[in-house]
Structure formats: C-alpha cells, structure tokens
Amino acid sequence: MSVFSLLSVVCNTGFLFPGQGSQHVGMVAELAAAYPAARAALQEADDTLGFALSRLMLEGPEEDLTDTINAQPALLVASVAVMAALAAETGQLPSGGSGNFVAGHSMGEYSALVAAGSLSYADGLRLVRERGRLMKEAGTHAPGMMAAVLGLDEARVAELCAEIAAT
C-alpha cells in the first residue's frame, strides 16, 4: 500500500498552509470582522511580538508587509486566524485528533506545526519573526533572488546558468 493510499484511509481532512509570497494587505480582514476568535489571533500576535502586526496586515503599506521580517509572522497569524474561524464555524481544528493531516509549503511548515500542536502559537510567532530577521540580514550581506524554471530542458538551463555566471 502506498503512503498516499494509507493516508486516505487514516486521514479525513488535510490542511495545507501557504508559504511566503501569498501575503497581501487585507488578507484576513473579512475573517477578523466576522469572527471574534480570528480577531483574538491577531491581538495575541500583537501582544506577543510587541507591535501592531495586525494593523500592518489589515492596512499596510504593502511594501512593509512584504518585508520578510513581517511577512513570515503575518502568514502564521493569517493561518491561525483561518483556523480560529474554521473552529468557530465547524468545531473542527487541524489538530482535532486523529483523522487530520497538516502540511505546509516553506514558511507554511511553521503554521502546520502550530496547527498540529507541536509548536505553541506564541513560540511560532517569535520563531518566524526571528527567521525573517535572519533571512533579511543574510540577504543584506549576500543579495540574491530565487527564480522558477519552467518548460526548459536541462541542457538549456545549464547554458543559461553559464551565461549568467559569466556576467
């Protein structure tokens, strides 16, 4: 039996949390307006981090929100706010016992750890804020960027890398 077949037998619901790049100003505004538990998640983040991250998430500016030092905790907060709204609406949480599966893409792995109960929300906030700070610092010392390569064969990718390295 494959691992995916096994998961389909033991897991009722899967929760996948996004990574950095999915953030945008206002991303949890409707949830915060409709669900006190989502507002509480934002307030707890503000209290834990010692600044109004929720204001940045709801009002911007976008440039400050996309700064990795802010984007990473903002994504965790958004994920927890969604979980809080889901719990209020359905009574179901990702960590609600057997039958659930959580995973995350990149920074979303931290949201998955919080959802699974393996990492407290407060510790997760502090951890991803520090992760963002360190990534920002590393980028200052050695600037770079990431790019996705789609639809090119290996030879063409090697050729492009050689061209870039020569400049």
Mean pLDDT of 118-146: 91
CA 55 to chain CA centroid, Å, is 18
pLDDT tens for each residue of 78-96: 999 999 998 898 887 766 5
pLDDT tens for each residue of 9-46: 556 778 899 999 889 999 999 999 999 999 999 999 99
CATH code, domain with 121: 3.40.366.10
Instruction: Please check whether residue 47 is in contact with residue 122, taking contact to mean a CB–CB distance below 8 angstroms.
Output: no
Mean pLDDT of 94-118: 84
Residue with tokens 């911007």: 60
d(CA 32, CA 109): 23
Range of the domain at 153: 3-166
pLDDT tens for each residue of 123-136: 999 999 999 999 99
Q: How many domains does the chain have?
A: 1
pLDDT score, position 140: 85
Element (H, E) at 17: strand 13-17
d(CA 20, CA 26): 16
pLDDT score, position 164: 87
Residue with tokens 């009722």: 12
Those residues with Cβ within 8 angstroms of residue 121's Cβ, 6 or more apart along the chain or in another chain: 41, 44, 48, 76, 80, 114
